[in-house]
Structure 1
Amino acid sequence: MENPSQAVRPASCTSLMDPSLYKAAMIGDASVLEQNKGQLDVLVSPNNNTVLHIAAQYGQLHCVERILGMCPIIYDRLNSKGETPVHVAARERNIEIARALIEHAKDEELGHGVGAAKELLMLANKDKDTALHEAVRSRHAGLVKLLTAEAPELSYIANNAKETPLYLAAERGRGDLVSGILTNCRSPDFGGPYGRTALLAAGGPYGRTALHASVFQNFEECTKQLLDWKQDLLKEADMYGWIPLHYAARSGFTPSVEQQLDKDKSVAYIMTDNDDKMTAIHIAATYGKVRVIEVLMSKHPGCCEMVNSRGQNILHIATKNREKKAIKGLGANTSWRNIFNMNTVRADQVPKDIRKAADTHLIVAALIATVTFAAGFTVPGGLDGNQGPNQGLAVFARKAAFQTFAITDTVAMMFSTCAIIIHFAATNSEDKSQLEREYATAQIFTLDAMIAAAIAFTTGMFAVLSHSLWLAIIQCIIGACGMLYTIAIMNNVVRKISLIKNLPRSFSILRCLVRYSIQEKERGAEPKSTDS
């Protein structure tokens, strides 16, 4: 069976209407229309609007009735956008004209047959919008109720943007529109027309449902209506694998989170259907939504034990660092301690043997110190060997490039030497935490020495090649690219080995966990009653 929403009316031979006829339809002058009543269905505007389209656009109800009386077959003509007069009436919020067009189509004396009105309403324009789509966009609850009462199947039709009327109503947060559609929409347990299920009435773009649209905007009334209508919408994921609860957690919409959890507690444990495999509490931790975390933990304490695809639980995500002070702040609650120590799959995990990694860093620091020490006595351009006051001085001593070389070479030498000294000092340390901090400091010194050595080499070469400017510029560009890459690596390393600072979201989440841990501890400490 062909979908009537995709039906196309056969085109008639048309002629461009006279401006006087257009004006008559616009102002409702029936006398001018009477003069052309034999041609009303073929006279059109440049956009293929008939006089009925024009009268409907300008709200001329009396004129619409006269036109239908003079030319009964004009009621379903399409303009260049594929719109019927009902589309126009719905867009202009004119319920009386829409009702007149529907009643005309239902008139059995015209020989249209049973279902003519429904067929008229099911017609879609070139964007696949029906009259119900237009009524929802115009936010007219009366029109929505009228159209869905005449053709409940309208609720299932999606336009080119994959939007159903119910999705549009929920997106706008209009509870009256949602109610009007759901009142006449079949129960979601029954099948819809054209092989569809009634659940598809809630469909939207990107695989989302009307519940997604309502949650996006935090429309509590619409959310309640949709959940009362079809609770299974809670578990419907979009093309990105996110259910409505995930979006509510990301946005921090606590009332919406509570609404959904009250309907179905199991959604708190549903993971995103993508590579991350996160639950709502992971998402809330990622975006720092402390209140949402508190709600999830109070209603479903077990969800905090869930881990994502990387093996990270809520604490790992919130802190991004295995910080011992955070564990101590959780008190004596051993369950939280176990959660924090759960295995984590991390590509940047530090080697088990810290000293073995430190040996490699020590070799690098020693090489930099050796090279920069030697460069200080074999300067670029050599020394002045001529007799005179400058004998024994560097040839390029007065050049800015050479002076930069001398400074950065000294800096590289000192940084690498400091790194070596720290490595030697760390050999006597037995405390693992102290050892990690010392080696981290030495690693930063070594990276600084690398950057300074790279600058020294580039500026030294520039001083030597200054007579060939193009070659000097090219080597500077190459050297600059290398330095930028080194700096990027350094920033990444420093971020990984540094302690957490200035992260208010993470600390607020930790405070939330601390409060919960203390409450659990206090409840556990309450004396149990014993039978005498």
Structure 2
Amino acid sequence: MDSRLYTAARLGKVEVLDQLGDEQCFLLQTTPQKNTALHLAAKFGHGGFVKEMLKRCDSLLKQTNSKGDTALHVASRMGHVEIVNILLNHDHQHGSSSWRGDMEEGQNEENEMEEVLIRMKNKENNTALHEAVRHGNTQVVEVLLRRDDDLACIVNSASESPLYLAAENGSLEILKTILAIAAVIVEGGPDGRTPLHAAAIRGHFELVVELLNLKECPELIRRADAFKSTALHYASSAGNLNIVQAILQTDPSVTYLLDEDGLSPLHYAAGSGHTPIVNKILEYCPDAAELVDKSGQNSLHAAIENEEVEVVEALLKRSELDELINEPDNQKDTPLHLAVNKEKYAIVKLLLETSKVDLRAMNKDGRTALDVIELKEERSFQQVLMWKALKRAGAARGQRRHGREMRQQPTSRPRGADKSYKAMANTLTVVAALIATVTYSAVFMMPGGNKDREGATTSINDVAFKTFVISDTIAMCTSMIVALVLVWAVPDVPGMLVNAVGWALWLMWISLGGMIISFVTAVYIDVSIKSRWLAVVVCIMGCSVPFLVTPIVTVSARQTPHAKRNFQYDQIQQSPLP
């Protein structure tokens, strides 16, 4: 395109056209993207320039660029209402004014749509209305629909109707405009999804409420996509409590609809860790907990499979769900079997705390939960904790175990000493040696300053000084015990390293506690003389360390990545939505 024409179109300088002349070949020049001067003027909103161009070269009206966009597509995308009206009025006055009448006379509708500017599609089969909706231009949407309300029925290459795009983008005003003018719900969406699906996926609560208030709601709310998933499935998976509640208030029976894998909305909520939604669904439909998928697993199984401790705890607290505790799946695995397989001690502990768990239940291989943990090849700390918890609870072995299947208890035969125990033993040995060194050195730097032989015991009767001496001694002795025990533990001796690490952990806690107490008392003795408040603050800070460790470790453990059954729909992940 000539630089003068490009500049004139971009800046809207009509007078430049008079200087350039009316030659058609000149006005039809395009940019590398096949944009004409009319495309550029429509993009930058120069109405006067658009009118002048159409007077000089009428054929530019329906000329498309490399993306198949007409100037109307561009103006609708940019939200220039004035230019949209100019383009539509010009098309109406020059050859397309009788298109509705022609269609009534029996002409082919598809051919007629290609001739009418307002219905022209780009390479993605988007009309100007699609572009206006996608970019949130409400005024343009209203103008286009009042010219042709049947535009609301056209879908693009992605099977998206304008109403679906409005729901997906969260454009409440546009959605209301389409429903008010077109008065039709086109359920077009990828994979058979409806506008209600789109609003639920995106979490647009106000749009969901608007759609639920429609007279078509009873059918819309139960409509499933290509994967047999309803809007409630999506909302439950995404964790949108408000949307879930709105759908349940409208039609709670949708809770019982299952997708192609036999999963209910409750399965998705439980597997995704959305405890409030689990409680809300059970509030409306308590018997939804009895629903099982194709593998015979209920919501409790789903929560355990995905290691959602909070959901498991919430389900176990409901007395009406007691029958779920021992319900087997198609493999005859009970929730306790699954928890042991997942090596999730926190869940095993929750199950064992209930008096109704069946410790003798066997799966289809004839194995109890105790068998499952004992038959594992490797020995981890979690496994040992679970084995001990099961033994304390009185768990029994299955009746079919014999021959090579027999295994010794995890604490008596570590199968070559699991690597995790070796690493833990090495770490504990190093830490114990450091604590012993620090506490040993503290004896030669006792609080109160250096004294002569007669004055060295001036503080001997102080409670703080006595506390310092005792705690420092405890810290040093326990750390030395830890180091010696771990050094002497032989990995190849069955159970020796496992038991040594178990004892070392408890002794290490005592050693660390003694070191903290000796530190704060030493500071208190030296600082309290001149600033008692500062000494008290230091004591409080030091003594708070043990109380901060537990929640940090707990949170870290819950956030540890683990293999999780994917309860987020594949179709959501594959969609072009960000």
Q: TM-score range by the shorter chain?
A: 0.5 to 0.7
Q: Which amino acid aligns with 1:318?
A: A
Residue 157, structure 1, aligned to residue 143, structure 2:
no
CA distance in 2, matches of 1:283, 1:148: 39
Q: Tell me which of 74, 79, 96 is aligned to 1:112.
A: 96
Shift of 1:255: 0.8
CA distance in 2, matches of 1:184, 1:132: 13
Tell me the residue number matched to 2:82: 96
Tell me the residue number matched to 2:450: none
CA distance in 1, matches of 2:292, 2:33: 59
Which runs of structure 2 are paired with 1:332-371 in the superposition (5 Å)? 333=319, 335-346=320-331, 350=363
CA distance in 2, matches of 1:175, 1:62: 33
Q: Which amino acid aligns with 1:102?
A: L
Distance 1:329-1:59 versus aligned 2 partners, 3 A rule: closer
Tell me the residue number matched to 2:180: 183
CA distance in 1, matches of 2:54, 2:315: 82
Tell me the residue number matched to 2:126: 129
The SS at the match of 1:161 is coil
Deviation sequence 1:356-375 (CA, Å, 0-9, x none): x97xx89x99xxxxxxxxxx
The SS at the match of 1:448 is coil
Q: Which amino acid aligns with 1:297?
A: L
Tell me the residue number matched to 1:433: 394
Q: Which amino acid aligns with 2:30?
A: V
Residue 56, structure 1, aligned to residue 42, structure 2:
yes
Residue 444, structure 1, aligned to residue 436, structure 2:
no
Distance 1:57-1:264 versus aligned 2 partners, 3 A rule: same
Q: Following TM superposition, where does structure 1 have runs of at least 4 consecutive aligned residues deviating by more than 4 angstroms?
A: 325-331, 351-355, 450-453, 501-505
Tell me the residue number matched to 1:398: none
Shift of 1:84: 0.7
Distance 1:82-1:203 versus aligned 2 partners, 3 A rule: same
Residue 25, structure 1, aligned to residue 9, structure 2:
yes
CA distance in 1, matches of 2:171, 2:365: 58
Distance 1:326-1:31 versus aligned 2 partners, 3 A rule: closer
After superposition, the CA RMSD in angstroms is 4.3
Q: Which amino acid aligns with 1:27?
A: L
Tell me the TM-score normalized by structure 2: 0.54
Which runs of structure 2 are paired with 1:52-91 in the superposition (5 Å)? 52-91=38-77
Tell me the residue number matched to 1:393: none
The SS at the match of 2:72 is helix
CA distance in 2, matches of 1:158, 1:328: 44
Distance 1:328-1:91 versus aligned 2 partners, 3 A rule: closer
Deviation sequence 1:110-157 (CA, Å, 0-9, x none): 333413897211111112222112212321110111112222232233
CA distance in 2, matches of 1:340, 1:329: 8
* Stretches of structure 1 lacking an aligned partner (at least 5 in a row): 1-16, 189-200, 366-411, 413-418, 454-500, 506-532
**Would you say the 8 A contact 1:25–1:33 is kept in 2?**
no
CA distance in 1, matches of 2:257, 2:137: 37
| More relative contact order, 1 or 2 (CA 8 Å, 6+ apart) | 1
Tell me the residue number matched to 2:457: none
* Stretches of structure 2 lacking an aligned partner (at least 5 in a row): 101-111, 334-361, 420-552, 559-578
Shift of 1:351: 6.0
Distance 1:278-1:73 versus aligned 2 partners, 3 A rule: same
Shift of 1:308: 2.0
Tell me the residue number matched to 1:307: 292
Q: Which amino acid aligns with 1:80?
A: S
Tell me the residue number matched to 1:251: 238
Distance 1:102-1:316 versus aligned 2 partners, 3 A rule: same
Percent identity, aligned pairs only? 30
Q: How many residues align?
A: 363
The SS at the match of 1:442 is coil
